C-alpha cells in the first residue's frame, strides 16, 4: 500500500515530541517539611503497553486527572514539576500539557535502559525550583523514526486485516447509519483502486440533503471517553464524490456533541488529508457542533458524515500526538 514516506512521518512526530485516560499507577505520595511534595513511580508500572525498544531506552507518558492527582498543589503551568531517579539525578522529561483549572496533565519521561533493567522507580516532585528540571530536548535522543512513530501516534485502521474492526486497543467495530429514506450499501473492505494497493473501506450511498437525509460511518476510539487534548492531527486517505464531514464526538446517554470539519473531495483521485484541531469549525451548536475545546477531554468516537450521492473510499487513518495507551 502507498504510504507517506517515513521521513515525513518522522519529521512530524519529532516535532510533536519536542513541542485523558488515567495513569496506570498513581504511585505513593508524601510531603516533606518544606512543602516539596513527591510521588514514587515504579518503572514497571509506567512502561508503554507496546514498547518499540524492548531492551533500550523508551518514553513513558504519565497521565494525570482529578482521580489521581491534586492539581491544587501545583502551579497552573506545571513549571514546578521535576522527575528524578531515587538518588535525585534529574531524568529528561517534557510537559505535553498541564491545565490546573481543568485538572488534566500529561508529561513524557525518558526511561533509559539502565532504569528498565534495575526495575527501579522514578520520583516525580512538584513545587520545585526551575533549576532542578532536566533538559527536555534529551527525551528523544537516539530514537529511530519508527520508534517515534509508535510512541507518538495511534493507527485507527489501515483495513489490511479485511475486517470492519479498527486497529485500536479495544478493536471496536466500524458501523453505518442511514437516516429515513437515505440509501447505504456495499459496506465492506475491498482491494483499494487507482494505485493505492492493499485494502480500503468502501461503501456507496444516496442521501438528499434538502430533505434532511444523511449517512454516516463511525467507530469508537475506546471503551469509554478519553482525553485527546494532546492530539496534533488526524491523517487519512479518502476518495469520493463531493465531500463529507469528519467529526470527533463525545456521546453520552444518546446525546452527541462534536467538533467537526467539512472536507471537499476530488472524485478523480485519492486525497491525503491532515486535519489539525484548529481546522475544526467554531462552535455554533448546530447539529451538536460545540467545537474542539468542548470535546477534546472526553472523546468517544470518530465519525464521517455524507450527503448527496456517492462512492466513498477510506484508508490509513492515524491520529498523531497521542499513543495507543491513551486509548486503552
Contacts of 149 (CB under 8 A, 6+ apart): 6, 9, 10, 13
Domain boundaries, the chain: 7-151, 153-327
| Higher-pLDDT residue of 253, 23 | 253
pLDDT digits (tens, 9 = 90+) for 87-112: 999 999 999 999 999 999 999 999 99
Partners of 201 in the beta sheet?
Answer: 189, 314
Q: Give residue 100's pLDDT.
A: 93
Q: Which of 124-128, 131-135, 206-210 has the lowest mean pLDDT?
A: 131-135
Q: Which CATH class is domain 153-327?
A: mainly beta
- Rounded Cα distance between 60 and 294, Å, is 27
Identify the burial level of 322 via C-beta atoms within 10 angstroms of its C-beta, where 0-12 means exposed, 13-18 middle and 19 or more buried: buried
Q: What is the pTM of this model?
A: 0.88
The band of 134, judged by pLDDT with boundaries at 50, 70 and 90, is confident
Residue 34 has pLDDT above 50, yes or no: no
| Average pLDDT, integer, range 41-51 | 91
Output the pLDDT for position 171: 97
C-alpha cell at 219: 467507530
The answer to whether 145 and 127 are in contact (CB under 8 A) is: no
pLDDT tens by residue, 184-205: 999 999 999 888 999 999 999 9
Q: Report pLDDT for 55.
A: 80
Question: Are residues 219 and 157 in contact, defined by beta-carbon separation less than 8 angstroms?
Answer: yes
The angle subtended at Cα 297 by Cα 136 and Cα 238, nearest 5°, is 90
SS3 313: strand
Q: Residues 81, 107: contact at Cβ < 8 Å?
A: yes
The pLDDT value recorded for residue 261 is: 98
Task: Reply yes or no on whether the pLDDT at 230 is more than 70.
Answer: yes
Q: How far apart are CA 48 and CA 59, in angstroms?
A: 7
Owner of C-alpha cell 456533541: 257
| pLDDT value of position 136 | 86
Q: State residue 277's pLDDT score.
A: 98
Confidence of residue 253 (pLDDT cuts 50, 70, 90): confident
Query: Of residues 97 and 34, which shows the higher confidence score?
Result: 97
Average model confidence (pLDDT) across the chain: 88
Lowest-confidence segment of 36-45, 89-98, 274-283 by average pLDDT: 36-45
For the chain, the helix, strand and coil percentages under 3-state DSSP, each to the nearest 5: 15, 40, 45
Q: Say if CB 271 and CB 238 are below 8 A apart.
A: yes
Tell me the DSSP string of 159-177: -TT-SSB-SSTT-PBPEEE
State the Cα torsion 122-126-28-325 to the nearest 10°: -60
CA distance 251 to 225: 8
Residue 140: the pLDDT is 94
Tell me the torsion sign for CA atoms 50, 55, 59, 60.
Answer: positive
Contacts of 161 (CB under 8 A, 6+ apart): 167
Amino acid at each position: 500500500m502507498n504510504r507517506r514516506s517515513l521521513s515525513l512521518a518522522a519529521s512530524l512526530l519529532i516535532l510533536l515530541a519536542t513541542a485523558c485516560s488515567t495513569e496506570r499507577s498513581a504511585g505513593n505520595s508524601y510531603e516533606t517539611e518544606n512543602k516539596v511534595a513527591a510521588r514514587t513511580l515504579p518503572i514497571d508500572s509506567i512502561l508503554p503497553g507496546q514498547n518499540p525498544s524492548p531492551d533500550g531506552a523508551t518514553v513513558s507518558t504519565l497521565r494525570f486527572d482529578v482521580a489521581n492527582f491534586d492539581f491544587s498543589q501545583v502551579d497552573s503551568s506545571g513549571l514546578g514539576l521535576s522527575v528524578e531517579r531515587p538518588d535525585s539525578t534529574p531524568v529528561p522529561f517534557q510537559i505535553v500539557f498541564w491545565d490546573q483549572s481543568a485538572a488534566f496533565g500529561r508529561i513524557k519521561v525518558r526511561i533509559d535502559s539502565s532504569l528498565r533493567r534495575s526495575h527501579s522507580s522514578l520520583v516525580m516532585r512538584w513545587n520545585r525550583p526551575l533549576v532542578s528540571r532536566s533538559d527536555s530536548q534529551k527525551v528523544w535522543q537516539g530514537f529511530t523514526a519508527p520508534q517515534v512513530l509508535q510512541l507518538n501516534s495511534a493507527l485507527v485502521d489501515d483495513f489490511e486485516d479485511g475486517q470492519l474492526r479498527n486497529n485500536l486497543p479495544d478493536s471496536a467495530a466500524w458501523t453505518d447509519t442511514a437516516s429515513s429514506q437515505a440509501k447505504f450499501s456495499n459496506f465492506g473492505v475491498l482491494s483499494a483502486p487507482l494505485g493505492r494497493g492493499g485494502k480500503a473501506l468502501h461503501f456507496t450511498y444516496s442521501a438528499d440533503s434538502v430533505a434532511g437525509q444523511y449517512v454516516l460511518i463511525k467507530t469508537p476510539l475506546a471503551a469509554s471517553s478519553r482525553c485527546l487534548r494532546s492530539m496534533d492531527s488526524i491523517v487519512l486517505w479518502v476518495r469520493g464524490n463531493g465531500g463529507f464531514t469528519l467529526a470527533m464526538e463525545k456521546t453520552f446517554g444518546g446525546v452527541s456533541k462534536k467538533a467537526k470539519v467539512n472536507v471537499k473531495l476530488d472524485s478523480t483521485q485519492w486525497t491525503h488529508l491532515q486535519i489539525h484541531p484548529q481546522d475544526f469549525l467554531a462552535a455554533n451548536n448546530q447539529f451538536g457542533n460545540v467545537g474542539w475545546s468542548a470535546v477534546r477531554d472526553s472523546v468517544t468516537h470518530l465519525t464521517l458524515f455524507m450527503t448527496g450521492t456517492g462512492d466513498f473510499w477510506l484508508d490509513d487513518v492515524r491520529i498523531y500526538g497521542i499513543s495507543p495507551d491513551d486509548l486503552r
